[in-house]
Amino acid sequence: MKKLSQLTDFYYETLYPSLKELEKQRTQLKHRLIVLGIIYTTVFIFLYFVLAPAVSSSWDLLSVLVFIYLTIGAIGYKYLIKDYASEFKIKIIAPLIDAIDKNLSYTPTTHVPEHLFRKSELFTSSIDRLSGNDYVRGKIDDVNIQFSDIHAQQRVRNSKGKDEWKTLFEGLFIVAEFNKNFYGKTVVLPDMAQNRFGNLLGSWLQSNNFTRDTLVKMDNNAFEKEFVVYGSDQIEARYILSHSLMKRLLVFKNKAKKPVYISFIGNHIHIAIDYSKDLFEPSVFHSLLEYKVAMDYVETLHLSLGVVEELKLNQKLWKNHKKNTKLE
pLDDT tens by residue, 23-46: 999 999 999 999 999 999 999 999
The Cα–Cα gap between 46 and 53 comes to: 12
The pLDDT-based confidence of 213 (bands split at 50, 70, 90) is confident
Task: Categorise residue 127: left if φ over 0, alpha if ψ from -120 to 50, beta otherwise.
Answer: beta
Kindly tell me if the per-residue pLDDT of 201 is higher than 50. no
The Cα–Cα gap between 260 and 51 comes to: 47
The percent of residues above 70 in pLDDT, for the chain, comes to 89
Kindly tell me if the per-residue pLDDT of 193 is higher than 60. no
Beta pairing partners, 315 = none
User: What confidence score (pLDDT) does residue 316 get?
Assistant: 63
Under 8 Å between Cβ of 141 and 186: no
The pLDDT-based confidence of 229 (bands split at 50, 70, 90) is very high
